[in-house]
Amino acid sequence: LLGSSRVWYICYVSKLATIDVIQDGGVATPRGYFSGAAYAGLKKPGPDVLDLAVLYSEKPAAAAAVFTRSRIKAAPVILDMAVLRAGGKIRALAVNSGCANACTGPAGMASARATASALAKNLGIDPKEALVASTGVIGVQLPMDKIAAGLAKVALSRDSSHEFTRAIMTTDTRPKEIALEVKLGESRFILGGTAKGAGMIHPDMATMLCFITCDAAVEARFLQACLKRAVADSFNMITVDGDTSTNDTVLVLANGAARSPAIDAGSDLGGAFQDALNRVCLFLAKSVARDGEGATRMIEVQVKGARNLRDARVAARTIAGSPLVKTAVHGCDPNWGRIVAAAGRSGAEMEESKTDCFFGDMCLLRAGIPQEVDKNGASALLNLDTVRLGLDLHLGRGKATAWGCDLSEEYVVINSEYTT
Amino acid sequence: LLGSSRVWYICYVSKLATIDVIQDGGVATPRGYFSGAAYAGLKKPGPDVLDLAVLYSEKPAAAAAVFTRSRIKAAPVILDMAVLRAGGKIRALAVNSGCANACTGPAGMASARATASALAKNLGIDPKEALVASTGVIGVQLPMDKIAAGLAKVALSRDSSHEFTRAIMTTDTRPKEIALEVKLGESRFILGGTAKGAGMIHPDMATMLCFITCDAAVEARFLQACLKRAVADSFNMITVDGDTSTNDTVLVLANGAARSPAIDAGSDLGGAFQDALNRVCLFLAKSVARDGEGATRMIEVQVKGARNLRDARVAARTIAGSPLVKTAVHGCDPNWGRIVAAAGRSGAEMEESKTDCFFGDMCLLRAGIPQEVDKNGASALLNLDTVRLGLDLHLGRGKATAWGCDLSEEYVVINSEYTT
């Protein structure tokens, strides 16, 4: 299900930790978390439509987050950044879909604050313990009467992870959620996570939200460092050319409800926690890439032999984001030159005479020389559910993997008709 | 026809120069140039198909060029860079379509050299006076027997500019060519130009070739400086995120066949020459943007009030290249948030509370506050032949214009079926 984690950190060797998937798990699976969802009337009505979700932690949780690097940040992002900068613990989160609350000026900021206040009041907590997130159309104000009425309707429970996930979806065709149990010696803790987004390739639909919960007690600064590392090889590797939306958010909470020692940079459990967090992020990031708008296939681009890690990442991301690579894959056109050309313009160091190019294990270019290949066989490798494209630059030890999806006519159809 | 040149250089004030369009002019319109074309069998056969073009200057011409910045450069680019670096004058150019001669290793370099040699032999000139260019599929070797036979068939004349242009086209739907006459006092000289390319937005189809001729005598270093300036506000402003193909080339020749004093950095004619060159580049660049694969409309993005020129350029280019802006325009969806979001992620300095956003003259966002607008009216502004999108950042005096096109289902269809 998960594939193997590709990321190993020398500083955190996880000693014999066992990491298992919990069937049907999600964001409220770790101990001490509750979730719920309601229909507030932000999305078009329909059977089973949900558009407002709440997450609650009985115990105040250490929190870490990464946000969009766009100069234009949505109001909920600005609010959450301020709340987290203050350094306190977090107990609750409200998320709405259908409206991004971005480019909404002072009124939008007031709405974000009012949402946090209403949430806090309903739960009897301090507004400084509440976060908010939004996703949907840019430039439209949040209808606060609907938000307030919706929040009042949300019933929290231990088994509503799926409802939470459904409520934050926009153009997603599939829910994206996971839970993992980590066992090391007597210690047991669980990570849960959910994400929405039809790809970072769609940067201005307030694209990507991801919420991860953990019932271990994780020290806040260590939690932030772990998240940053996990995101670098997962969510940031489905980014196209640095595209980030106005609302992109990856949040992790750790509430310490599990029977497990506290985790910090020096503890034995640190490696296992990092590994499990990497897996959660990687699974959710790949799920987002696979569910790209109009996508019929996932593209996995592996670059190795790059001069360094930065070069490997930029080359892999550029290939995965190239419209011409994406359309070639869509049409099963074995036009490998597009892969090499995308890497060539990526900024990564490259020498044509050293470069190998692969579809799966089939080598189409070796040391800069085009190889004789069976065109039908090559084409068939582009028709797999996961299309594997590879590049070996033979310049160093840098390697990275990026994920994207094919580009279909359906993408154009979806995005030509978004607000109208 | 041309629109006004947007580019004025304080250092080159053209004193009362008159610049007129020459009807039906092209690359061989300036004095002393001859062109011709043939069908060599590189493209699929058909009525009137041409795929090999030759340009010849009676007098050796000063030459300047800008090439792709991709790490992966096609063999003809590598050869031409070496020839031009040697600093000699140029007398002839051979261009083929149907094969990019990129990613073709040492055999490809040998083919580029053999093409230049065959061209030089046919014309009785030195191979060091000959340049070559190619456009088409990457990773396929040039069939040298066909090239040699084709070159032998080319008949040169003074009135074959259109044939030259047709022979270098690939997915272009329209020829792109122009000639201008510059008059200043007793001086008269002509610039001619042609380009092929369905947009820099299609970076790995060995996208963009442009050849410009001039019958003035222009000093080589000044020529290169003028070209660099002209390209910065034209061809480089139809570039998406720095995308450059393996074969991109803009070449200008100046053979001194006109009755006109020599032009260098200090001469009175310098300003008029720069202005005329700007217009040729701008016209051809906009023609390329308008003819983007699958495009139904041209998008012109004007950014002003940026902190500086660099910020204005990067913001304008990012907006023009955003798939979501392009699809919104295609669907006449007045989703202006996508414009602001694209600028926000572009790297340009920006403050939401100062930002204005426009469709034509209609203001949709003023100082960060969404404006009440007539949605149908806004939608209609996206249905014009040239769609004008504007952003005023109110941070400084940087301004720039970029050109792109809408993104249609047809783009996906074209690019899913390129080599197969």
Neighbours of B163 (CB within 10 A): 20
Look up residue A327 and give its two tokens. Answer: 């359309």
Percent of chain A beyond pLDDT 70? 92
pLDDT level of residue A210 (50, 70, 90 thresholds):
confident
pLDDT at A238: 79
Residues 366..385 of B with a Cβ closer than 8 Å to A: which?
Answer: 368-370, 375, 379
pLDDT at B205: 38
Could you tell me where the DSSP H helices lie in A139-268?
A: 144-153, 161-168, 220-232
**Among A322, A311, A317, residue whose Cα is nearest residue A350:** A311
Look up residue A236 and give its two tokens. Answer: 């940031």
φ, ψ of residue B249 to 5 degrees: the values are: -150, 130
Distance between CA atoms of residues A136 and A44, nearest Å: 12
Q: Is the CB of A72 less than 8 angstroms away from the CB of B340?
A: yes
To test the contact with chain B by mutation, choose from A318, A338, A353, A382 the residue with the greatest count of B C-beta atoms within 10 A, namely A338
pLDDT at B15: 57
Q: Checking DSSP bridges between strand A187-196 and strand A209-214, what pairing results, if any?
A: antiparallel
pLDDT at A89: 94
Burial A163-179 (b: 16+ CB within 10 A, else e): bbbbbbbbbbeebbbbb
- A-chain residues within 8 Å CB-CB of B246? 337, 341, 344
Distance between CA atoms of residues A116 and A136, nearest Å: 18
Sequence letter at residue A407: L
Check residue B226 and give left, alpha or beta (phi > 0: left; psi -120 to 50: alpha).
alpha
- Confirm if A250 and A151 have CB atoms less than 8 A apart: no
pLDDT > 50? residue A413:
yes
Neighbours of A154 (CB within 10 A): 24
Q: What are the 10-residue block averages of pLDDT along chain B, 420 residues in total?
A: 35 65 94 96 93 96 87 91 94 94 93 98 97 89 97 96 93 88 90 78 55 93 92 76 67 91 88 92 86 86 96 92 88 90 89 94 94 93 95 96 88 69
> For B29, which DSSP code?
-
* Nearest CA-CA distance, residue A351 and chain B, Å: 7
Residue pointed to by tokens 């299609």 = B202
- What value does the CA radius of gyration of chain A take, rounded to a whole number of Å? 22
- Give residue-wise pLDDT tens across range A123-146: 999 999 999 999 888 889 999 999
- Give residue-wise pLDDT tens across range A21-48: 999 999 999 999 999 999 999 999 999 9
Look up residue A14 and give its two tokens. Answer: 């996880």
- A-chain residues within 8 Å CB-CB of B353? 105
The answer to whether B87 faces chain A, any CB pair under 8 Å, is no
Residue pointed to by tokens 């506000």 = B233
B268-271 long-range contacts (CB < 8 A, ≥24 apart) are B268/B15, B268/B184, B269/B17, B269/B182, B269/B184, B269/B187, B269/B189, B269/B216, B270/B12, B270/B222, B270/B226, B271/B9, B271/B12, B271/B13, B271/B14, B271/B15, B271/B17
Catalytic residue among B29, B171, B207, B355: B207
Across the interface, which of A102, A335, A370 has its CB nearest the CB of B418? A335
Residue pointed to by tokens 């992002």 = A77
pLDDT > 80? residue A2:
no
pLDDT at A268: 81
Lowest model confidence (mean pLDDT) among A171-175, A181-185, B25-29, B351-355: A171-175
The answer to whether A317 faces chain B, any CB pair under 8 Å, is no
pLDDT at B11: 32
Q: Of residues A415 and B346, which shows the higher confidence score?
A: B346
Alpha carbon distances (Å) from B222 to B18, B184, B225, B252, B265? 21, 19, 5, 12, 6
H or E element: which one contains A289?
helix A269-290
Alpha carbon distances (Å) from A201 to A169, A383, A408, B143? 16, 21, 13, 39
Percent of chain A beyond pLDDT 90? 62
Distance between CA atoms of residues A49 and A42, nearest Å: 10
Which class for B262: exposed (0-12), middle (13-18), buried (19 or more C-beta within 10 A)? Answer: middle
